[in-house]
Amino acid sequence: MFVTASFVGVTSLVCIIFFALVRPLAIYVWDPKDLRRFPSASAWGIPGWAGWSNFWLARAILKQAKSHSVLHAHEKYGPIVRIQPDHLSFSDGEAAKTIYGFQSRMPKGKFYESIGDEDAHGHILKNLVTTDDREEHQRKRKYVSNAFALKKILTLEPAITRRTGHLIKCLDNQREALQADNGQLDLYRWINYFLYDTSAELTFGETLGLCDKGNDVLDTLPFDGSPSCQFEGIETFQSAGSYISLFSPWPSLAQKLRKLTSWHRDASKGKKFAEAVHLYLQQRLKRGDTSEFRDFVSYLLRDSHQKPRDLEYAELLGETFVIFGSAIDLVASVATNAMYHLIKNPECMRKLREELDDALGDTLVPTNDQICRLPYLRAVFDEATRDRPPIAHGLARTVPEGGATISGHFIKAGTTVSVSAFALHHDASIFPEPWAFRPERWLDANADPLWRECLVPFSLGPRACTGRNLTFTLIPLVMATLVRRYDFELPSPDWEMEWREPLNMSPISLPVKMKIRNLKANEAKGIDS
Ligand code: HEM
């Protein structure tokens, strides 16, 4: 028994050393894809580190600073940098169009396999985001294309405004708690509670009540029939992301590495989150459809002629997980970032309030129609996504058979290529003063049209975000409501919000003091009573 265990251990170690060190080094020297002509990112003075080892990227991921590290590599080495032995990162808008645009034939890279889970037979489960198969993608995309069409999103507006009004009511009620806790409240958490509730209502037809509870405790329905347990949604989602992304530099080893580290405290967190989605989905299936409201799950269950799609349960759960989760984590990051910069820059806040007060009169929770054409509100949204695109890292794609020319360089088939939205958005030659929050840059009639093309928070082409219409409705609406209802104060004038990048880029917290503004809107059309 002991001999078998040590044999397995030694064999695993030898395999890991071979795949993680020896093989990449040999490939670097052999250079079959002719990649040595490009500079390799480095650190700690190790020459060409990222060119012959995946540990440069693994180190950046471990520090939760993948996108910052790639940005710094571009600043140091130029617009094309090797960030893994077989991975080139580009930082220009033309490359983004070639790699992701509608003309591109580049499938998703191996990275997506590394973040997927295995089924009972050892096959990696693919969802709409992770599948690299064109036909499978088209089939899955068809399920949700109607659900996310603008016409449909507009029908969700009453639910979104109702949830926004309820958020305001709950925040108003927090005033007593605020007195107790140094007068501060973590706005990032509250935006999350609001989005959990809203996403649950849009996805399953029923809210979770987190704004009422004032916490992010979720229940599970364990897959193995064990008793239900509770966990904190925000922390669990992010720890799960940081655990799976840790092994992403070695996609072919990722599943094995996960098994070897299954003792790690974050190893079961993704499953825990999936078990919560499983609970809400089961409850939804038991409730059945309602005639008044068509939730996202109903689009996965039936087509537009009401014909059942008969998806296997694992697929139904996987797609539901993507929709439910995307409408929380990514949206919370952008909305929080916009609020932070507005509070930090009183002149931006003043301009936005002026625009909103003129347009909205005494309406506190506006309709999409009232705010969708407000230029300054849109400019704040664009600047917040430029400053911190939540999917900040480069979305890996594989160069197909026959190779491809990217930014004037011929790249051989099989090479992984990507453009990091974060690096592109902070390229000073494209966006002057990239670290300054300046919504005005989007309003300048003489602005370089290149800027618009280089703003890619939702990616481009056939694999771009399906949830854009929902995001364009949700974030401006909650932003407009919050800035009109409250005056905010940061812990100190020089306080700066900190970020981490477990998988996506997220703020850590946004502690603020809040006061209800002295405004006509306090008579409050739209606050839930
Ligand atoms: C600020 C908010 C959001 C941002 C920045 C964002 C960004 C992105 C990006 C960059 C992709 C491409 C991912 C890749 O190629 O790997 C993507 C895909 C996707 N997003 Fe979003 N997203 C946001 C909100 C949402 C929302 C609210 C939903 C739905 C409720 C959603 C659903 C999806 C889906 C289903 C895909 C896969 C599309 C496909 O491959 O066909 N996203 N998103």
pLDDT of 49 above 70: yes
CA distance 247 to 309: 35
What is the number of the ligand 1 atom nearest to the C-alpha of 130?
Answer: 16
Residue predicted with more confidence, 61 or 184: 61
Question: How far is Cα 479 from Cα 380, in angstroms, rounded to an integer?
Answer: 10
Of 225 and 13, which is predicted with more confidence?
Answer: 225
Hey, whose CA ends up nearest to atom 25 of ligand 1?
467
Task: Give the distance (Å) from ligand 1 centre to CA of residue 8.
Answer: 40
- Which has the higher per-residue pLDDT, 487 or 178? 487
Q: Which two tokens stand for residue 136?
A: 């499978």
pLDDT at 529 over 60: no
Tokens of 416: 């992984």
pLDDT of residue 291: 74
| Nearest alpha carbon, ligand 1 atom 10 | 458
Residues with CB under 6 A from ligand 1: 128-129, 141, 322-323, 326-327, 330-331, 334, 389-391, 395, 457-459, 463, 465-467, 470-471
Tell me, what's the pLDDT at 521?
47
Task: Give 394 or 9, the one with higher predicted confidence.
Answer: 394
From residue 5, alpha-carbon distances to 19, 393, 511 in Å are: 21, 38, 50
Residue 326 Cα to ligand 1 midpoint, Å, equals 7
| ipTM surpasses 0.90 | yes
> Is residue 89 a contact partner of residue 83, using CB atoms and an 8 Å limit?
yes
pLDDT at residue number 304? 85
CA 470 to ligand 1: nearest atom: 27
pLDDT above 90: residue 345: yes
Higher-confidence residue of 358 and 528: namely: 358
Look up tokens 């004038």; give the residue: 493
Task: Give the residue-averaged pLDDT of 181-189.
Answer: 87
**Ligand 1 nearest-atom number relative to CA 459:** 10
| Mean pLDDT for the chain overall | 91
Q: Whose CA is nearest to atom 21 of ligand 1?
A: 465
Q: Which residues of 21-49 are buried (b: 16+ CB within 10 A; e: fewer)?
A: eeebeebbeeeebebeebbbbbeeeeeeb
- Given a cut of 60, whether residue 528 has pLDDT beyond it is no
User: Does 65 have pLDDT greater than 50?
Assistant: yes
Q: pLDDT band at residue 491, thresholds of 50, 70 and 90? A: very high
- The three-class DSSP label of residue 514 is strand
Work out the burial of residue 117: count CB atoms within 10 Å of its CB; fewer than 13 is exposed, 13-18 middle, 19 or more buried: middle
Q: pLDDT by residue (tens digit) across 413-447?
A: 999 999 999 999 999 999 999 999 999 999 988 88
Instruction: Find the 323 Cα to ligand 1 centroid distance in Å.
Output: 9
Separation in Å, CA 284 to CA 35, 142, 287: 51, 22, 5
Convert the pLDDT of each residue in 388-410 to its tens digit. Answer: 999 999 999 999 999 999 999 99
Residue set of the binding site: 465
Q: What's the one-letter identity of residue 310?
A: D
Report residue 513's pLDDT band, with 50, 70 and 90 as the boundaries. very high
Kindly give the distance from the C-alpha atom of residue 458 to the centroid of ligand 1, in angstroms, as a whole number.
6
Higher pLDDT, 11 or 134: 134
Q: Name the residue of 326, 380, 471 whose CB sits within 8 Å of the most ligand 1 atoms, as the mutation to test its pocket.
A: 326
Cα–chain center distance at 408: 31
Q: How remote is the CA of residue 200 from the centroid of ligand 1, in Å?
A: 17
Q: Compute, in angstroms, the gap from residue 226 CA to the centroid of ligand 1.
A: 33
Per-residue pLDDT, 15: 74
Out of 146, 420, 465, give the residue to mutate to test ligand 1, the one with the largest number of ligand atoms within 8 Å of its CB: 465
Predicted confidence at residue 176, as pLDDT, reads 67
Distance 464 CA to ligand 1 centre (A): 7
Range with the poorest average pLDDT among 107-121, 231-245, 279-293: 107-121
First and final C-alpha spacing in the chain: 67
How far is ligand 1, taken at its centre, from the CA of residue 32, in Å?
34
Question: How confident is the model over 131-171, as pLDDT tens digits?
Answer: 999 999 999 999 999 899 998 999 999 999 999 999 999 99
By the 10 Å C-beta count (0-12 exposed, 13-18 middle, 19+ buried), 324 is classed as buried
Please check the confidence at residue 360 and state whether its pLDDT lies above 90.
yes
Per-residue pLDDT, averaged over 73-80, amounts to 96
Q: Measured between alpha carbons, how far is 315 from 9 in angstroms, rounded to an integer?
A: 34
Percent of the chain with pLDDT over 90: 77
Q: Please tell me the residue having the least CA distance from ligand 1 atom 17.
A: 465
Distance CA 171, CA 59 (A): 40
State which CATH number among 2.40.50.220, 3.40.50.2000, 1.10.630.10, 3.40.50.2020 fits the domain covering 31-516: 1.10.630.10
pLDDT > 80? residue 285: yes
Question: Which amino acid residue places its CA nearest to atom 35 of ligand 1?
Answer: 466
Ligand 1 atom 29: residue of nearest CA: 467
d(CA 338, CA 332): 10
Query: CA 269 to CA 111: how far, in whole Å?
Result: 20
Region 281-301 average pLDDT: 92
Question: What distance in angstroms lies between residue 465's CA and the mean position of ligand 1's atoms?
Answer: 4
Confidence bin at 492 (pLDDT 50/70/90): very high
Model confidence at 188, pLDDT cuts 50, 70, 90, reads very high
Whether residue 519 has pLDDT greater than 80: no
Determine which of 10-14, 118-122, 430-434 has the lowest per-residue pLDDT on average. Answer: 118-122
Going from the C-alpha of 479 to that of each of 279, 336, 377, 449, the distances in angstroms are 31, 9, 9, 27
Please say if the pLDDT value at position 18 is more than 80.
no
> Quick count: other Cβ atoms within 10 Å of Cβ 457?
22
Residue nearest atom 1 in ligand 1 by C-alpha distance: 331
Q: Which atom of ligand 1 is nearest to the CA of 112?
A: 16
Look up residue 402 and give its two tokens.
Answer: 């026959």
**Residues of the chain with pLDDT > 70: what percent?**
94
Would you list which residues are annotated within the binding site for heme? Answer: 465
